[in-house]
Amino acid sequence: MNQADVSKLISQLRIAVRPNKRHLKNVDGPEGRLLKLRKTVTALVKHERIELFYNRADEARGYAELLISNAIRHGDRHKATMELADYWLLEKQLVHKLFKVLVPRYENSNISYTRMFKAPRDYPGIFYRKSVLELRGNPFPVLTPDNSQNRNLLHNVLLDEARKEFRREKLANLANKLAAETENATPSTPAQVPVTEQPEQSEEAPKA
């Protein structure tokens, strides 16, 4: 491969793509590999959140993303895309879901259509890494609650205060500099200096 294939145009994926595919050991070779992935993609579209081994999920993720992005790009009137959907979705009612549910859901999104999480692996159990693969906007409760919004955590309280102090100091510095400049430029305008400092001090008062 020395030259990009120009016969096709594909939208950029919003996920990190491995440079090479995984072979996902299969007796039927590449065809069997695709069948394996078709099952996963079908399950993903059907259940919207699935738990499975990491490698297979990571491989299937790209296919699912491309399938959705193609569906968004071409719509359901495009024969080749329909053929694709027919191939990738083993249960045919899901073709309908793809075009009528998922396409409107993701039409205006700027981020990837799927999410993937590393899942803990059972111990003792099979050694392989596990993961959770889900479509964005699924009806299930979120897996990783976002804790970064809690501003009452101790370090956030400390940082908040540090930030306020930093801003105050910065403003004071700025005011001083401005005052110095105005003094240098026109030494006969001391009236301006308190004016610039005034709001800053008044700001300080309520905080303290």
Partner 1 sequence: MNINVRILTKSVAQQYAFKRIVTFSTKPTQQAAAAAVPQQQEVTGSTVRRPIVPAHYRFVYPEFLPDPKVEWRNTIREKLERLDMLDRRRQIELPEFYVGSILAVTSSDPHAAGKTSRFVGICIHRERCGLRARFILRNVIDHQGIEVVYELYDPTIQKVEVLRLEKRLDDSLFYLRDALPEYSTFDENMEVESLEEGAPVPVNDIKVVLRPRPWLERWERQNLLGVANIEQYIKDKHRKSSEKAQKPWEKYDLMKQYRATIPEEEQKEIFAEVHTELHTLELQRKRNKRKRTFVKPKHLA
Partner 2 sequence: MAATTKLFRKSLGALTQIQQYRSIAKLPTSASSAQRNELFNLEQRRQQDAIGRVEKIEVRYLGLPEDVTLVMNNNISTPYNCAQHLSEGHCKRSALALIDGSVPWDMHRPLQESCTLQLLNFNVSDPHIVNKAFWRTCSFMLGAALQRAFKQEANLQLHSFPGPNIKSGSFVHDIVLGVQNWEPTKAEMRAISAEMVKLAAQDLRIERLEVDLDLAKEMFSDLRFKSEQLPSIAQQHQSRVTLYRLGEHIDISRGPMVGSTRFLGKCTVVAAHKLANEGASNAFYRVQGVALPTGFALNHFAYGLLEQRAQKLNSARLPTEPFEEQRQMQLS
Partner 3 sequence: MLRTVLSDLARLRLSGGACSVTQVREKGHLSRPRLRNPYWFIRQQRLQTDDQVTGENRSFIKEVIHDTYGTPALIKGVQTYEQKQLIKTDEAPISTEPWTPNVRRCGLIARKIGQYPLWLKNGERIRTTLLQVVDNHVIKYIPPEEYKPTHQPNVKNLNRYGCVLVGAESTNPALLTKEYCGIFRDSGVMPTKNLARFIVSPQAALRPGTPLNVGHFRVGEFVDVRGKTVYHGFQGVVKRHGFKGMPASHGVTKTHRRPGNIGGGGEKGRVWPGTKLPGHMGNRWRISKGLRIWRINTKYNVMWVQGSAVPGSTNGLVYIYDTILPLRKPQEAPPLPTLYEQPEDEAPDDIWYEQVHNFKDETISFKPE
Q: Which is nearer to partner 2, 123 or 127 (CB)?
A: 123
Which of 86, 82, 80, 88 minimizes the C-alpha distance to 62? Answer: 88
Q: Tokens 């499975």 — which residue?
A: 52
Cβ proximity to partner 1, 43 vs 71, nearer residue: 71
Q: How far is the CB of 203 from partner 1 (least distance, A)?
A: 42
Burial class from Cβ neighbours inside 10 Å (0-12, 13-18, 19+) for residue 138 reads: middle
Q: Which residues are within 8 A (CB) of 67 and not within 5 positions of it... i.e. 6 or more apart?
A: 41, 84, 85, 88, 98
Segment interacting with partner 3, rule: CB under 8 A, options 102-110, 114-122, 150-158, 185-193: 150-158
Q: Which residues bind partner 1 (CB under 8 A)?
A: 1-13, 17, 19-21, 30-31, 34, 59, 62-63, 66-67, 70, 73-74, 78, 80-81, 83-84, 87-88
For residues 61 and 49, give the distance between their C-alpha atoms in angstroms, rounded to a whole number.
12
Which entry of partner 3, partner 1, partner 2, none binds 148, CB below 5 to 8 A by partner kind?
A: partner 3
Strand residue runs (E) in the chain: 49-53, 114-119, 130-135
Of residues 157 and 180, the one with the C-beta less far from partner 2: 157
Q: In terms of CB distance, is 7 or 184 closer to partner 1?
A: 7
20: three-class secondary structure by DSSP: coil
- 153 touches partner 2 (CB under 8 A): yes
Gyration radius from the chain CA atoms: 28
Maximum CA extent, the chain: 91
Q: How many residues bind partner 2 (CB under 8 A)?
A: 12
| Secondary structure letter of residue 4 according to DSSP | -
Which of 10, 35, 111, 157: binder of partner 2 (CB under 8 A)? 157
Contacting range for partner 2; rule: CB under 8 A; set: 2-10, 13-21, 149-157, 177-185: 149-157
The correct pick among 153, 174, 180, 195 for binding partner 3 (CB under 8 A) is: 153
53, 131 Cβ separation under 8 angstroms: yes
18 binds partner 3 (CB under 8 A): no
